[in-house]
Amino acid sequence: MAGGRRMPCMKPIYRHFTLAVLPALLLAACATPVPPAQTPVAEVLKTWGPPTATYALQPTGQRLEYATGPFGRTTWMIDIRADGRVGQARQVLSEAEFMDLQQQGTLSRDELLRRIGTPGERRGARFGGQTWSWRYPTNDCLWFQMSLDAEGMTRGGAFAIDPLCDARDNARD
């Protein structure tokens, strides 16, 4: 810079650099790092805050749920071992996890929650049961739904069109 003025040729380059890099920096600043194995539970709670739910794991561990629903597309499950340290942390809302659930057969409501966490939506279904739905990261406009009977046992799961997509499409008409 000469005399406190920017060189004219630098201004467009600087602007494009800022526009390209700034969003990535902002996303990185907002992202909470996934706790590695052996992290003490106190550090997880300090970084992640209170979980949206907690589940007992056998024999003496616990699973901390960090759900972003009802409109979020991720749920992190952080397993805490008996020694109070992280055993594993993973994002459970995925097609692989949902397909595995479909192969499992009948699960209890509690086991379903322990596996994929709090649903984004719960609706009443025929015969006194419910349909639970989870949004998940996908390029398609889908969500995953599980049917539970009146006794709280799963009766099947399927991928379906997320009704929020239909609402956006109808708004454009």
Confidence class of residue 23 from pLDDT cuts 50, 70 and 90? very low
Express each pLDDT in 33-89 by its tens digit. 899 999 999 999 999 999 999 999 988 899 999 999 899 999 999 999 999 999 999
Give the mean model confidence (pLDDT) for residues 98-126.
Answer: 94
Joined tokens for residue 28? 């990185």
Looking at the domain assignment, is residue 151 inside a domain? yes
Express each pLDDT in 119-143 by its tens digit. 999 999 877 899 999 999 998 999 9
Q: Quote the domain boundaries for residue 75.
A: 41-172
Looking at the domain assignment, is residue 86 inside a domain? yes
Question: Which residues neighbour 148 within 8 Å (Cβ) at sequence distance 6 or greater?
Answer: 109, 112, 125, 129, 130, 131, 132, 154, 155
What pLDDT is stored for residue 59 in this prediction? 87
CATH of the domain at 110: 3.30.1450.10
DSSP character for 2?
B
Looking at the domain assignment, is residue 4 inside a domain? no
Within 10 A of 69 (CB to CB), how many other CB atoms are there? 18
- The model's pTM: 0.77
Looking at the domain assignment, is residue 11 inside a domain? no
Give the mean model confidence (pLDDT) for residues 86-99.
Answer: 97
DSSP character for 40?
B
Number of domains in the chain: 1
Looking at the domain assignment, is residue 89 inside a domain? yes
Work out the percent of the chain whose per-residue pLDDT is above 70.
Answer: 77
